[in-house]
Structure 1
Amino acid sequence: MKSKNLVNKVSPSTYEADLDKQLKMYKLKKDTLIKVTKYIKEKDQLQESISYWRNVAQKALNYLYNEQSVQFAKIGGFKNWHLQQWESKQRALELQQDEMIMNLQDTLDSATDDAKESFIEQLQESGFNIEDGEIINNYEEQTPPNFNDEFSIQELCKILNIDYNLIYSI
């Protein structure tokens, strides 16, 4: 009999709050089930859409591949193009280093005598060669790597930064 009295002593507001919590939980479960059934029904349509757009991407890549193959043939092959790209990056790095040295030299020239000595020490610790107050550019020419002359759609995808497996996976 005591247990019946305890159940009856629960306040109506607590009981209603518990019912509200349960109702919200069941609504969430219902919404989740509705979404799952919707996705299951649309799965075939989604697969068709994926297949369609994958086919479009493959055709576009094939077109770009053919166009790029012609361009590479005009400039002496894919290996020659790689070499040109590498040389361009090397020139850019050399110019960047020259500009940095010019800026450092300007800073060094405009510094006071006391600051020059500490600045020269810092530069030498960083690996710069300094002779008679002039910063010497010690840029060494790099030998080019051995590039492959075979151009493929995988190589095109690397150039375009596209995931090959995303487009050509089965």
Structure 2
Amino acid sequence: MVLRLSFCTALKIPHFFCELAQVIKLACTDTFINNLLIYSVSSLFVGIPLIGIILSYTQIVSSLLRIPSVGGRYKAFSTCGSHLSVVSLFYGTGFGVYMSSAVTDSSMKTAVDSMMYIVVLQMLNPFIYSLRNRDMNGALRHLIMELSSPGSCPLLSF
């Protein structure tokens, strides 16, 4: 559908990579059909997995609530918590990036948002999953306590 669009002049995409929404914004012809197709296909490809995730987590939570011991329930919830936080970060940030790019005309803000979505979230994955480790959890608590105490900043002391 993008190949059928006509573009007025040789324009540059103000982005790090060739994103479909940015290419469509450069078209001189009517892009209503393209935008309608993008949003409907995106809704389909995002909505079906999201519904599957919600339904599976509903089943998981209902089975976890039947675990009699509190310790077992806590351990099971902590296992699911890291996955749920990664999934919610992925979907939430993706939704925010594509909704903000549809509303704003700031190419720099859209580029930064897309980089956050593409690069930073992928870098946070190992960190989020490693928080289940007791040593990492303790080190993070220690860092937060050090940063929250007045007058000290361990990151700046050499």
TM-score range, shorter chain: 0.3 to 0.5
Between Structure 1 and Structure 2, whose CA radius of gyration is higher? 1
TM-score by length of 1: 0.30
Larger RCO (CA under 8 A, 6+ residues apart): 1
TM-score by length of 2: 0.32
